[in-house]
Amino acid sequence: MQITGQLTLTVLMGLFLVIIAAWLARIEDWRSYTPLGSGGAAGESGYVSQEKPTGISRWLTTVDHKDIGMLYGAYGVLAFVVGGLMIMVMRVELLDPGMTLISNSFYNSLLTSHGITMLFLFGTPIIAAFANYLVPLLIGADDMAFPRINAIAFWLLPPGALLIWAGFFPLGDIIPAQTAWTLYTPLSTGAGGGNQANAGVDLMILGLHLTGVSATMGSINFIATIITERAEEVTWANLDIFSWTILTQSGLILFAFPLLGSALLMLLLDRNLGTSFFAIEAGGTMLWQHLFWFFGHPEVYILVLPPMGIVSYVLPRFAGRRLFGFKFVVYSTLAIGVLSFGVWAHHMFATGMDPRLRASFMAVSMAIAIPSAVKTFNWITTLWNGKVRLTTPMLFCVGFVSNFILGGVTGVFLASIPVDLVLHDTYYVVGHFHYVVMGAIAFAGFAGLYYWFPMFTGRMYQRRLGKIHFWTWMIGSNITFLAMIVLGYGGMPRRYATYLPKFATFHQLATLGALLMFVGGLVWTYNFVVSWLEGPKVQDGDPWNLRDDGMYTNEWQWFEDRQETAITDGGDEDVVTDGGTEE
Amino acid sequence: MATKVFDRDTLLDLTVNFIPLFILLFFLVGYFVYNPFKLGSTERILQYMLLATPFVLLAILTYLSGKAIASTEKSSPVYMPGAATVDGAEPIEDEHEE
């Protein structure tokens, strides 16, 4: 049975390589296929001179930053749905204290995959989606600096996802990883009598490695693009805030992800080739934790900085005034970038590490709270006395600020060693970071999706459904994550598939909130699919009436130019903008 | 105090990063004055390195970014961030927070 499974895998892999080789051989002239690798020469447009191919070949061969942005977006949304369905199964299981619906090992598998899917397959790619589509438009560039590297970076992701989820597919004896997303040793080295020596864990590690390579390639591209491809008028003094956050995030990726890659390779060597990097008598369990969190904490900021950029960019459009303290936000973004590399061991306060080192990590963790708080005050001050229009993207921005305050303040407590020692490994931590990753990061992502929906699709979504989506998510996320905070105070440990009956009420509340978010997710899916196909077409380049407040920006100017040059289809339907009411 | 590039307004903008720098400095001095653990060990050196390294790196990045932004502000027209390539864009007065 095992040999047959291996043979099948080998044959499939061989076939895959033959297809790639055959496809590469069919391309006659690489130069005619792509823009200049150097990003365009004087007097010559960087765009492809021929029309794009149509249909599926367009999407498989594209090097256009907007197409690649759309691919990243589709990929990120798909991963979000998968990760969301995984958590729904887990939350339904947690309605009851015992094991009822699924086995505890399957719960562990879902727990592991939910974390990795949301962080690596949804979080990073959905940010890359916005960055790919918008950064060249915002800085006045023809395309990314390295369009083909851009395409390669994306196409590494689908195989990465397949490898990460491989354990769930019917592939012989391969089982899903149950290591949790942190892959702590010695569990993840496959030591002991458990089942984590299974090839499913190796495949997941390889998939994770691929997504890391993809993110690194993307980050190099963004750094090169923002530094070298800006239009003459776009100087450091008027570079938009979203591009600033992408530049900082790319710097973080450049220093953090290669370290993750190295640590993962060491882990693979320990698992398969008999090395002993993480053996107890060698590096021990602490070595992995240090290596992992030196990547893992910057990863948190890799995920949160661009969403902060989206909120800093979108929120002022509907407050009718420029972002208060723009340069405060820029400098504090850079400060977070540097300090994020000095706080990694606050994830390890309970490991018994030297108390002097712990004290330093606490100090830097306190210091990094300042730049985050500064941004919050800037957003609130921007709203102060502004001409607030409560459109759906604006609601998601305000929801972001609210949830980020809750997630951030609970985090400041965790930065303090004595508090952390009490709350470590409880649901308090889970509640804290879900307020940030779901309540803030995902909210900002959806603010961006709604705000730029008219640009991405040329149509307008249904405003009522957008607002229903927001309110189900806002109420649902607060019910779920607040219940988690309370559970943590009560001493409920995280990662457990079963629990004591005294925790049942708050677990049921958390599931209720999750169900509410599930309903909101269905509304969102329906709204976007139907509006994309049948929504009223946007007739001008200013669907949000930004010109009225003098808030019109580069990417909408590009959109307007495109609208004007496009052939009109004679539609007579007026666009229904999500205007909101002025207050 | 204020030099040509780092005028009063730029320094005011940079205060946002002076605060975390001050917090790091506070703990650097604090752990030096009051330290319940024994002196002279490797861990003690690492303890200071962990505070000093982010301090130095943040100070350098703040200086470089402040210089880049303030000098381009003086040498070229400043448009609303993200709106430099809009048709008919007018440079804005840099009013430094109303």
What is the mean pLDDT of the segment spanning A50-77? 89
Contact A241 B76 (CB under 8 A): no
- A252-265 pLDDT, tens digit per residue, is 999 999 999 999 99
Residue A89: the pLDDT is 97
Residue at A6 is within a domain: no
pLDDT of B3: 60
Given a cut of 80, is residue A298 above it in pLDDT? yes
User: What φ, ψ does residue A514 adopt, rounded to 5°?
Assistant: -65, -40
Place of tokens 């590399």: A341
Contact A335 B97 (CB under 8 A): no
**Residue A568 confidence class, pLDDT cut points 50, 70, 90:** low
Q: Residue A389: which pLDDT band, with cuts at 50, 70 and 90?
A: very high
Among chain A residues, the shortest Cα distance to B62 is held by A331
pLDDT in tens, A402-432: 999 999 999 999 999 999 999 999 999 999 9
**Which of B50, B68, B79 is facing A361, going by the closest CB pair?**
B50
Looking at CA atoms only, how far is residue B11 from chain A in angstroms? 11
pLDDT band at A399 (very low <50, low <70, confident <90, very high): very high
* ipTM field: 0.91
Residue A510 is assigned to a structural domain of this protein: yes
Q: Which of A56, A22, A250, A245 is nearest to A153 (CA)?
A: A250
Please give the Cα distance from A433 to A430 (Å, whole number): 6
The answer to the question of residue A343 being in a domain is yes
Angle, in degrees to the nearest 10, between helices A392-415 and A427-434: 140
Among the partner residues A335, A355, A553, nearest to B83 by beta-carbon distance: A553
* Domain of residue A467, residue span: 61-565
Q: pLDDT grade, residue A277 (50/70/90)?
A: very high
Q: Model confidence over A200-244: pLDDT tens digits?
A: 999 999 999 999 999 999 999 999 999 999 999 999 999 999 999
- Residue B92 scores a pLDDT above 90: no
Q: A359 in a domain, yes or no?
A: yes
Name the pLDDT band for A45 (thresholds 50, 70, 90): very low
For the whole model, what pTM was predicted? 0.88
Total count of domains within chain A: 1
Write the CATH number for A318: 1.20.210.10
Give pLDDT, residue B40: 67
Six-digit token pair at A17? 């390589």
Of B66, B65, B72, the residue nearest B91 (C-alpha)? B72
B32 pLDDT tier (thresholds 50, 70, 90): confident
HSE, CB side, 13 Å, CA atoms: give it for residue A301. Answer: 34
Q: What is the rounded distance in angstroms from the CA atom of residue B74 to the CA atom of residue B78?
A: 9
Q: Do B82 and A339 touch (CB under 8 A)?
A: no
pLDDT band at A39 (very low <50, low <70, confident <90, very high): very low
- Asked whether residue A54 is assigned to any structural domain, the reply reads no
Inspect the interface and report whether the beta carbons of A233 and B50 lie closer than 8 Å.
Answer: no
User: Does residue A173 lie in a domain region?
Assistant: yes
Residue A194 pLDDT level (bands cut at 50, 70, 90): confident
- pLDDT reported for residue A54: 80
Q: What is the structure's pLDDT at A73?
A: 96
Q: Does the residue A417 lie in any domain?
A: yes
Mean pLDDT of A488-510: 96
Tell me whether residue A49 is in a domain: no
Contact A510, A484 (CB under 8 A): yes
